């Protein structure tokens, strides 16, 4: 392969392997490009450790375009107290990640390649193919996630989108894919420069 081909493969691989995209996207129709100011990133997850890790990762993913802070640093016990603390500390917007649904799904994986059995005779010196197709299934959890961007000055929803992603064993990989997709969608909607 030539150097150009290697370079193209490398550049396309930088984009990532994620095919995550928002299914439903809504943007407030009367919103011009707002000055969002500093943004609080809040992940509504059940476990405290997972919530803090998700907020840290989302804040890192949004950092090139938004001045973000994880919500756990504000020490607010609930959502109303979080909004009040964010307004009091001069934050302009709130980005909320919320799991709205979850379901189990059976996924069929591709079978292994054809197995070549023992050969005999002049027609099959290396064996003949056995169709080896075991049923390879896996139960995975599909999670529907909603992302909301809220202006804190007037408590107005600026943007909302939801998507489905496979709940993988790695919280980091799922949150990074979601953060990357959210940032691209916010830029496309014109809410982030």
pLDDT on residue 15: 46
Does the 19-100+144-188 domain belong in CATH 3.40.50.1370?
no
Q: What is the pLDDT along the chain (193 residues), one digit of tens a residue?
A: 455 434 334 334 444 444 688 888 888 888 766 678 889 999 998 889 999 999 999 999 888 788 899 999 998 888 899 999 999 999 999 999 999 998 888 887 766 555 555 555 555 555 555 555 566 788 888 889 999 999 998 888 999 999 998 876 778 888 999 999 999 999 888 888 7
**Per-domain boundaries in the chain:** 19-100+144-188
Structure tokens at 153: 């000055």
pLDDT on residue 108: 79
pLDDT on residue 64: 79
Note whether 46 and 58 are within 8 A (CB): no
Residue 53, CA atoms < 13 Å, CB-side half-sphere? 12
pLDDT on residue 14: 42
Query: Cα–Cα distance between 92 and 87 in angstroms, integer?
Result: 7
Note whether 121 and 143 are within 8 A (CB): no
pTM of the model: 0.75
SS (H, E, C) the chain: CCHHHHHHHHHHHHCCCCCCCCCEEEECCCCCCCCCCEEEEEEECCCHHHHHHHHHHHHHHHCCCCEEEEHHHHCCCCHHHHHHHHHHCCCCEEEEEEEEEEEEEEEECCCCCCEECCCECCCECCCCEECCCCCCEEEEEEEEEEEEEEECCCCEEEEEEEEEEECCCCHHHHHHHHHHHHHHHHHHCCCCC
pLDDT on residue 39: 92
């Amino acid at each position: 392969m030539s150097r150009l081909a290697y370079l193209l493969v490398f550049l396309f691989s930088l984009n990532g392997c994620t095919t995550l995209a928002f299914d439903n996207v809504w943007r407030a129709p009367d919103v011009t490009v707002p000055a969002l100011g500093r943004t609080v990133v809040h992940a509504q997850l059940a476990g405290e450790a997972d919530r803090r890790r998700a907020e840290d990762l989302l804040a890192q993913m949004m950092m090139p375009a938004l001045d973000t802070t994880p919500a756990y640093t504000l020490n607010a016990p609930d959502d109303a107290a979080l909004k009040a603390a964010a307004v009091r500390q001069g934050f302009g917007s709130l980005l909320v990640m919320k799991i709205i649904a979850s379901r189990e799904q059976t996924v069929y994986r591709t079978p292994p390649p054809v197995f070549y059995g023992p050969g005999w005779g002049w027609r099959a010196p290396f064996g003949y193919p056995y169709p080896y197709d075991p049923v390879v299934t896996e139960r995975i959890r599909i999670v529907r996630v909603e992302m909301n961007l809220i202006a804190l000055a007037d408590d107005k929803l600026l943007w909302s989108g939801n998507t489905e992603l496979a709940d993988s064993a790695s919280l980091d990989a799922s949150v990074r894919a979601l953060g990357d997709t959210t940032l691209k969608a916010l830029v496309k909607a014109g809410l982030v420069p």
